[in-house]
Structure 1
Amino acid sequence: MDDVATDDAALLEALLSSLAGEESVYSRWCWSAGADLAHHVHDLAKAAEADWAHEAVRGATGPTTLGEIESALRPVTRDTAAGLMVSLSTDSLVFPGHPWRDRAHARQAATKVMSILGPGSEWFSNIDGPWENGRAWNPVTRHTFDGVVAGRGGGFVVSLLQVGED
């Protein structure tokens, strides 16, 4: 492992942690060697479900297999992924219009994440279309609301997930 990759990993950790500062927003990164994107998102979804078990609707179900997670994720452009990352970090899926944090910080952090993963990176989300057009999604958790954006490139896999209940 070279120093640049180690520095990028440390920076990714800090950036994703800053984007996931709210209690219902989760982030994860790993080295991409052998990392399957659906498995990566599945592990993050399970962590969020465990943390938010007290909020889940009794008897609620959601995707439980890697195949179900994989089928929920659709390719998105880098620009769409960056916008979704900002929105998942700053805006509630449940209560729109009540921003959690400064969008400028989230935009800066998302832009840097995109830069680290590089121009050839691949991005996926369970959210259909730009955030501003309303939200339709394919669930990746058992929660009433969830949104995830995940990418791979530059030797890394990253994801940002928000869950919520009304």
Structure 2
Amino acid sequence: MTDHRSGPFEELLELAAEVDGPEFLVRVDHAAVPPEEQLRALLNEKGLMISPEQAASWKLPTTAAGFRERLHELPSADIRPTLMSIMTENLVYRSLSGPTTPERADPLVRQLVQKIGPDGKWWSNYYASGERKGAWDPVSPYTFDRAAIGVGNDVTVTLLAIDDD
């Protein structure tokens, strides 16, 4: 069940509605949903799933298993930087001209992490640190995409930033 009424989730949904175009998408479910299913549901809901034939030529996933292969569990140190990058960066120009400002995003990210809880888990297709820092595994037909899915306290939240150059 999708619920649009509580705290940071409501603010996220409002922010997604404010963005002119499909560049920032959000889905909130008040149930623990596997991250790959949540991401696939968001893309399908927004009309961004492509045919298996086209996906094969573009090397994009269309199945839950395919999406799972593109996601990695975020280390706790990468959760906030990943969420901030999704909410504040222009993916094409790697600049702070994304869906919102750092000043607006920071308290929202803190609330999101708190709502998912310390025992919650976060996944992403983006690498905020390590050997692949700055790299991502594509999950959409857009040139650039960055996803994060948090599951905890019977809530699943998905954020997806997309852009083309």
Decide which of 61, 64, 75 is 2:62's aligned counterpart.
64
Q: What CA deviation, in whole Å up to 9, does each residue of 1:110-134 have, x standing for no partner?
A: 100111111111011001234xx85
Structure 2 gaps, min length 5: 50-56
Q: 1:99: which partner in 2?
A: 97
Instruction: After TM superposition, give the deviation of residue 19 of structure 1 in Å.
Output: 4.9
Q: 2:24: which partner in 1?
A: 25
Give distance in 1, aligned partners of 2:93 and 2:44: 23
Q: 1:54: which partner in 2?
A: none
Instruction: After TM superposition, give the deviation of residue 50 of structure 1 in Å.
Output: 3.5
* More deviation, 93-102/22-31: 93-102
SS of 2:68's equivalent in the other structure is: helix
Give distance in 1, aligned partners of 2:37 and 2:122: 15
After superposition, the CA RMSD in angstroms is 2.6
Is 1:13 aligned with 2:12?
no
Give 2:158's aligned amino acid.
S
Give distance in 2, aligned partners of 1:49 and 1:140: 14
Instruction: After TM superposition, give the deviation of residue 9 of structure 1 in Å.
Output: 5.5
Q: 2:52: which partner in 1?
A: none
Size of the aligned set, in residue pairs, is: 151
Instruction: After TM superposition, give the deviation of residue 17 of structure 1 in Å.
Output: 2.0
SS of 1:96's equivalent in the other structure is: coil
Superposed, 1:83-98 pairs within 5 Å as: 83-98=81-96
Give 2:75's aligned amino acid.
T
Give distance in 2, aligned partners of 1:48 and 1:95: 24
More helix per residue? 1
User: Cα distance 1:75–1:19, how it changes in 2: closer, same or farther (>3 A)?
Assistant: farther
CA contact (8 A) 1:123 1:151 kept: yes
TM-score, normalising length: structure 1: 0.79
Instruction: After TM superposition, give the deviation of residue 86 of structure 1 in Å.
Output: 1.3
Superposed, 1:34-49 pairs within 5 Å as: 35-49=33-47
Q: 2:144: which partner in 1?
A: 145
Instruction: After TM superposition, give the deviation of residue 78 of structure 1 in Å.
Output: 3.3
TM-score, normalising length: structure 2: 0.79
SS of 1:162's equivalent in the other structure is: strand
Give 1:38's aligned amino acid.
E
